[in-house]
């Protein structure tokens, strides 16, 4: 065999290995055909809409995009632990789809990452066991994100949740889209709503 052929084959094998290692694999989504029409946005201040004008929080804007009522169950200051303590209130709504945005306050408060994502896993499992499709909103903050971005990806694959890798993508750090250093303004929430709309649209 000519050396040129050997190099060509070796190059193809190397390329295949790189593709296998670095391109995310597909995974099965749990509860991809929700039995209930109820949609709940469950989270912290980013769900509540802190910084937005009235009616411009992301759940309200998402409701307008999909033409369906959405329950806003966002509580400012919620950590994964405090959200877990009110999971029964969410289950009482019998949601078919839950858009979950939690972890930002854990990150801010320096909660142990393993604790944060164990709480999130418990929350997701409870929602899924109740029949809900879970759309997990990730947070991937540069420099001080402590690996949360990768952890959201791993959790989504483990639980079969739909993932929005970074709900603040295209928003965070842009003064015209932020009301403060953490929260979007109304225009920023429009972008967030579109992130979730693209993720959840295939499941209607």
pLDDT in tens, 69-103: 999 999 999 999 999 999 999 999 999 999 999 99
Using a 10 angstrom Cβ sphere, with 0-12 exposed, 13-18 middle and 19 or more buried, the burial of residue 144 is exposed
Contact indicator for 67, 199 with CB cutoff of 8 Å: no
Give pLDDT tens digits for 163-179: 999 999 999 989 999 99
Percent of the chain with pLDDT over 90: 81
Q: Three-class SS of residue 182?
A: coil
Report all structural domains of the chain as residue ranges with CATH numbers, in order of start: 3-203 (3.40.50.1110)
CA distance 76 to 88: 18
């Amino acid at each position: 065999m000519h050396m040129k052929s050997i190099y060509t084959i070796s190059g193809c094998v190397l390329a295949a290995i790189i593709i296998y290692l670095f391109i995310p694999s597909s995974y099965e989504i749990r509860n991809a055909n929700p039995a209930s029409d109820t949609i709940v946005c469950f989270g912290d201040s980013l769900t509540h809409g802190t910084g937005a004008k009235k009616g411009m929080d992301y759940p309200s804007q998402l409701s307008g995009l999909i033409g369906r009522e959405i329950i806003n169950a966002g509580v400012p200051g919620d950590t994964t632990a405090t959200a877990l303590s009110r999971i029964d209130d969410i289950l009482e709504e019998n949601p078919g789809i839950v858009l979950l945005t939690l972890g930002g306050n854990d990150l801010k408060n320096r909660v142990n990452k393993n604790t944060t994502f164990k709480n999130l896993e418990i929350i997701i499992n409870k929602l899924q066991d109740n029949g809900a499709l879970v759309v997990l909103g990730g947070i991937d903050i540069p420099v001080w994100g402590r690996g949360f971005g990768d952890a959201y990806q791993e959790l989504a694959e483990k639980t079969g949740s739909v993932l929005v890798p970074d709900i603040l993508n295209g928003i965070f750090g842009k003064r015209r889209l932020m009301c403060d250093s953490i929260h979007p303004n109304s225009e920023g929430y429009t972008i967030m709503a579109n992130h979730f709309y693209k993720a959840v649209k295939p499941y209607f």
